[in-house]
Structure 1
């Protein structure tokens, strides 16, 4: 058999470099971001990401923000632009994507962005908000392990905002999150995507009571 197909969630994409630019145009933020082959949606701003950027709120709590599976950085850089006094962690396993985030942050003059591998985030860092268009195609087991780990690092009063296509299992993911003790609600459904809000696990003395998703 030939070499396995390289995915955007590969650590070192095998696809030859083919750089381009994606223009992010939102009501309050305008960015021109360099992209490349081997990262997620290099040719355009993904519809799900746009839904998240247009509708996910800024955090209620004070603290660092996390873009989980950052790609070339549209989520991290948008929220870094909205909260220039807040540290935004852009996390990905894809080294090419992380290099692009660093380049794009430098071009945009955003010095509050830290792009790094997951293991490089200090253990003591907790997050006021987590934003993600999660890599569903890594498989359910890997996705669940990843989400459980990072959601456990939300600050009390913090929230995660996940955008997931309905036909790729958004509703079953919401049910699983509720079953794991992370109260999860659907904020909206648009263009075939669900925007989910996920709260931290309740303390032992305060049982979780997440609402349903239907």
Structure 2
């Protein structure tokens, strides 16, 4: 069976390499490996997202959903040094490398966890289960479209429901992989959604905190 980047425990042999994330405001060398998303270069959609999003909140909890080896989370950490950044992914190999990349780039306000449950935010903040859910100040993601529509919808709505009342998420999705369909679907779920950029076949969507959940 061909391994997927969303496999929790990839069995593919290791072949580490280094790629570069080059943006107008920062340069990050990043260690990657086989069996993870865009292992041989920083994905174009990720770069478009990072070149398009407004600055992250200066404080609060910032989340990279589907962090891979860390380019989005590490950019958030660099741009908001007083914030607390959390990157999550189901791929154990990717999460391990993301932590390595944070250390190598001297970014210490970021943590990485394996999983997809938003309770990881509570774990990250050491919040007791009986306390009110933690609020996410911003969420950036190049989401795992290829896990399938039902799983993707469940993943997104579960995490988006944790946005603080005035917070927004920013998602980058290829047009030919259903960006416009996802845009419409989010609005049917009471998430105000705005396309803020369209470039090279990608859409960047801003998704605001839900107005109501029925």
Give the TM-score normalised by the residue count of structure 1. Answer: 0.90
Aligned equivalents of 1:81, 1:24: Cα separation in 2: 13
Aligned equivalents of 1:146, 1:91: Cα separation in 2: 12
**Partner residue of 1:102?**
99
Instruction: Give a deviation string over 1:102-160, Cα, whole Å, max 9, x none.
Output: 10001111111110023433163221110000000000000000000000000111000
Aligned equivalents of 2:212, 2:20: Cα separation in 1: 42
Aligned equivalents of 2:159, 2:62: Cα separation in 1: 12
Residue 60 to residue 88, structure 1, CA distance change in 2 (3 Å): closer
Given that 2:190 and 2:212 are in contact with CA atoms closer than 8 Å, whether structure 1 keeps it comes out as: no
**Partner residue of 1:131?**
140
Aligned equivalents of 1:42, 1:94: Cα separation in 2: 13
Counterpart of 2:149 (choices 140, 143, 159) is 140
**Partner residue of 1:7?**
4
Give the match's secondary structure for 1:175. helix
Given that 2:58 and 2:82 are in contact with CA atoms closer than 8 Å, whether structure 1 keeps it comes out as: no
Compute the displacement of 1:203 (Å).
Answer: 4.7
Structure 1 unmatched ranges of 5 or more: 205-214
Aligned equivalents of 2:208, 2:33: Cα separation in 1: 34
Q: CA RMSD in A?
A: 1.6
**Partner residue of 1:160?**
169
Counterpart of 1:184 (choices 190, 193, 201) is 193
Give the TM-score normalised by the residue count of structure 2. Answer: 0.90
Counterpart of 2:23 (choices 22, 26, 37) is 26
Aligned equivalents of 1:175, 1:11: Cα separation in 2: 30
Give the match's secondary structure for 2:172. strand
Q: Do residues 39 (structure 1) and 36 (structure 2) align?
A: yes
Structure 2 unmatched ranges of 5 or more: 123-128
Q: Do residues 91 (structure 1) and 91 (structure 2) align?
A: no
Aligned equivalents of 1:141, 1:161: Cα separation in 2: 20
Structure 1 runs (4+) deviating above 4 angstroms are none
Given that 2:64 and 2:141 are in contact with CA atoms closer than 8 Å, whether structure 1 keeps it comes out as: yes
Aligned equivalents of 1:201, 1:126: Cα separation in 2: 13
**Partner residue of 1:196?**
205
